[in-house]
Structure formats: C-alpha cells, structure tokens
Amino acid sequence: MPRSTYLSTLIVVFITIMGAFLMTGYSFAADTHSGQALDESGKAGSHASNSAAHAIISTGKVTSAASAIPLSIGGSVGAVSSEIANELMDAATAPAGTPLEISDESVSVGSPPDEALKTSTETKVDTAKKSKSETKSN
Amino acid sequence: MAHFKITGKIRATTYNITTALRLSIMLLCLTVSLIYSDAVIAGSSQGGGAIQFKPEEIIKFAKKVEKRLAEKGAKVAIIARVGRPRNKLPEGMSFTHTAIAVYSQITTADNRKIPGYAIYNLYQKDDKPELSDLVVDYPVDFFAGVYLLEAGVIIPSPELQKRILTTLTSGIYKSLHNPKYSVIANPFTLDFQNCTEHTLDVIFASIYNTSDINVIKANEKAYFKPQPVKINPLKLALGSMFIADVTTSDHPESPVTATFTTIGHFLTKYDAASQDNNHST
C-alpha cells in the first residue's frame, strides 16, 4: 500500500473516531459549579452555570447571602452562641429531629463574577444617583 | 472497481481488497462511535447549557426541599441532584452530584439573619475541570441547572449529624479535599476525588472521629460497597485519553466509584436512623 494512502486512511480513521466522540458530548456524569453536568466541555459547563444562576438572580426573587454558619450549638459543634441571633437561638439548641424554622426567603451566592462585573458599573451609577437624590431631599 | 486514494482528491476509481479493508475499518469505527453517541446526542442538544426550568420553578422546588428537611428536623443531610437525563447516566447511577446540607444561620447581603440550609459542595473548576474547589452555596444555586426537579436526601442519625457538623466546622473537612478531580474517582485510593468521594470521606472521618486519611480509606475499603462503573471499556479508554476529568489510572481493576445511592446503602446498613428519601415535584 502506498505510504500516502496508508497515512490518509489513518487520518480519516482518527477524524472519524474523534468526530463521533465529540458528537457524543460528555457521557459521564459530572458535577460542575453549574449544577449542570458538563455537556461538551468545561466551558459549556461554565456557560450553563452563568446562564442558570443569572436567570434565577434576574427574577429578583432571591436574596444575596453574605455568609452562613451552622445553626447548632453544643460542645464544640456549630457557631459560637454570641454569633447567633436571639430569635434563632431556639432552633440552634433544638435537638436533631425537632421540626426547624425555615425562612420563606430564597437566598443565593449571587451572580458569577463575570456577570457581576458586567453590572458593577450600573450599580455604581444607581448608587450615585440615589445618594444625590437623598442629599437633595435632605 | 473503484479505488479511492484519499489525499484531498479522488485520483482513481479502481477498487481492491485493501480499500475494502480500510473502508471496513472506518465503518467499524464509525459504527462503534455512533452506537455510543446515540444515547447522548439528544442530551447535549436538549440540555446544552441552558436552564431547564423556569427560575420560579427552581426557586419553588429548592424551598420545598428546604422545608421538607426542616420538617424532619435535619441539621445535617446528604443531598443529591440530577444534572443529566436519567437515561443518559451509566447503569446504577441516578444522581450526578452529592453534597452536604447544613441547617444554618444565613446572613444576607443587607445584614439580616435568617434560618435556612447552606450546602457544602466539591465542585469542578469551570475552566479546569480536572481540578476542584470546596464551595458553599444554597439550595437555589444547587438546583439551578438540574435536569429533573428531583432531590436525593439522606438524613443521618442525630449522632452522625452531630459528628459531621464537628468535621465540617473543624479543619478536617478542608484537609480531606483532594483537588485532583476525576468524575469516576476510585473511592479507595488517594489519587483523585470527586464530590461523592469527598462526602464519603467526611462521613467516615465523622464516624471514626479521625482526620487520618489512611484510617478513613481502610475503613471505606472494609465497609463501603462502591458502584461498578458500567461504561463500555472502549468509551472509557477514549474518555481517559481525551477528557481532562476522566481517568482510569486510579483503577487497578474494574472501575468503581462512590455514588449517592451507594452512600445511602452504606448508611442504611450502618447508621440505622438514617432516612433516605427522594423529593420531586
């Protein structure tokens, strides 16, 4: 067999395998920050993360969370009692198995950094406008 | 007879046995590849990065799961989600991500303190899927990109909940993290780790009150029954060669991995008070 034909065949076989393999997408279950298993690549997963998180945040129905501490005290477990709000102390000291209070509010870690960067300028402008109007009213 | 010489142009039209053999090999490759692609093409097109449900549906579902956990008085729960269509998952695997939910005081950005669940995750890095980070998020974030509005929930016994909390709030939780990620990590070795293996390590560290990873692995090997990875060896080999976060190098024998379901079986057997429930809409 001529060398060039042999090489061509190899290339076609390789391209065929790779092409079909890429068409399969990602067949393994993966767990990205997106909450969406990767479909094609890490980048695709990233995109899913941004779009899903952004869509939820843009509803205005979730509150951004700054931090969380386990609400359980006893021995060395959980938060230091001084960090727990008085109204949540009952829940903190309740034994496991006792029905717990839960807020009706939904919280989120907030927009992904790239989305937040897109909106940071607008936020600054809004804040500046607000300050100006507040100053005027005062 | 037709002879194809594929060098950019068809130069002749004669046909011989060598050509037939080459074509057969190509057809075989194509067939093999397409056999395995068949089930996944639909998944990629349908769930290719877009949110699967209306945001309001996700918010409602996430709150439903939280309320259910709170009703049960769960201060700690093992929680799982479905990030791909079930029929696209390897046999025996029902969930794609496992984490630990902890009843918490959440401080909002406007400095209010409200009760809810924070979720302790091991997530792949978006730009480097072969590496992972430990990330705390909340139910809405956790379920944001799911394919099914369904959650796997295991509520450990009160004693195990207390011990897991101790592990989480000590440095042990972080010390058990291995950032080298493989989606099919072998739970009995230290080479790679995925979200479920990290959760398993936290559970074993809590049960045995230890941060010694060798003690943890020895006991996992003795008492934990993993899920065999039922993926065609050819596909697995190709995945290991071409996909950053898939490797078989930590599997000296047939690949096995930890799953939410196998953790459930383990806790049902050894932590009698555990509850295993699936919540769906």
- Residue B195 structure tokens: 């979200």
> What is the predicted pLDDT for the residue at B43?
26
Q: Do A96 and B59 make contact, defined as CB atoms within 8 angstroms?
A: no
pLDDT band at A20 (very low <50, low <70, confident <90, very high): low
C-alpha A135: how far from its chain's center?
37
- The residue that leads in pLDDT, A93 or B265, is B265
- Suggest the residue from A18, A22, A33, A89 to mutate for an interface test with chain B (most B CBs closer than 10 A): A33
Q: Do A100 and B74 make contact, defined as CB atoms within 8 angstroms?
A: yes
Residue A36 amino acid letter:
Q
Question: Distance (Å, rounded) from C-alpha A4 to C-alpha B5?
Answer: 9
Q: Do A92 and B146 make contact, defined as CB atoms within 8 angstroms?
A: no
Q: Do B105 and A85 make contact, defined as CB atoms within 8 angstroms?
A: yes
Q: Do B73 and A24 make contact, defined as CB atoms within 8 angstroms?
A: no
Strands (E), A27-87: 62-70
Q: Do A38 and B129 make contact, defined as CB atoms within 8 angstroms?
A: yes
Nearest to B140 among A32, A92, A107 (CB): A107
Other beta carbons within 10 Å of B241: 11
Other beta carbons within 10 Å of B16: 11
Who contacts B212 (Cβ-Cβ below 8 Å, separation ≥6)?
A: none
Nearest to B36 among A24, A66, A99 (CB): A24
In chain B, whose CA is at the least distance from the CA of A89? B105
Mean pLDDT of A66-74: 81
> What is the predicted pLDDT for the residue at A92?
79
> What is the predicted pLDDT for the residue at A25?
45
Helix ranges (H only) for chain B are 17-46, 55-71, 139-142, 158-169, 172-175, 195-207, 213-223, 233-242, 260-270
The SS3 of residue B76 is strand
Who contacts B1 (Cβ-Cβ below 8 Å, separation ≥6)?
A: B13, B14, B15, B16
Per the CB < 8 A criterion, the answer to whether B72 and B155 are in contact is: yes
> What is the 3-state composition of chain A as percent helix, strand, coil, each rounded to the nearest 5?
55, 10, 35
Per the CB < 8 A criterion, the answer to whether B231 and B183 are in contact is: no
By C-alpha distance, which of B44, B244, B62 is closest to A102? B62
> What is the predicted pLDDT for the residue at B197?
97
Question: Distance (Å, rounded) from C-alpha B74 to C-alpha B72?
Answer: 5
> What is the predicted pLDDT for the residue at B112?
95
Q: Do B239 and A28 make contact, defined as CB atoms within 8 angstroms?
A: yes
Domains of chain B (ranges; CATH) run: 1-46 (no CATH), 47-280 (3.90.1720.10)
Question: HSE of B166 in the Cβ direction (CA atoms, 13 Å)?
Answer: 18
Question: Distance (Å, rounded) from C-alpha B186 to C-alpha B193?
Answer: 7
Per-residue buried b or exposed e for B133-156, using 16+ beta carbons within 10 Å of the residue's own CB: eeebbbbbbbbbbbbbbbbbbbbb
- The residue that leads in pLDDT, A52 or B59, is B59
Nearest to B115 among A31, A102, A106 (CB): A102
CA distance B198 to chain A (A): 13
Residue A109 amino acid letter:
V
CA distance A89 to chain B (A): 10
Nearest to B169 among A28, A34, A70 (CB): A70
Strands (E), B82-179: 97-108, 113-124, 132-137, 150-155
- Suggest the residue from A39, A88, A104 to mutate for an interface test with chain B (most B CBs closer than 10 A): A39
Per the CB < 8 A criterion, the answer to whether B232 and B91 are in contact is: no
Residues of B with CB below 8 A from A93's CB? none
Question: Per-residue confidence of chain B (281 residues) as pLDDT tens digits?
Answer: 444 333 334 344 445 656 666 666 665 555 455 444 433 322 222 223 457 899 999 999 999 999 999 999 999 999 999 998 988 898 889 999 999 999 999 999 999 999 999 999 999 998 899 999 999 999 999 999 899 999 999 999 999 999 999 999 999 999 999 999 999 999 999 999 999 999 999 999 999 999 999 999 999 999 999 999 988 888 888 888 888 888 888 998 899 999 999 999 999 999 976 766 666 65
Other beta carbons within 10 Å of B115: 21
> What is the predicted pLDDT for the residue at B235?
81
CA distance A60 to chain B (A): 10
Residues of B with CB below 8 A from A56's CB? 51, 55, 58-59, 140, 144
In chain B, whose CA is at the least distance from the CA of A94? B73
ipTM over 0.90: no
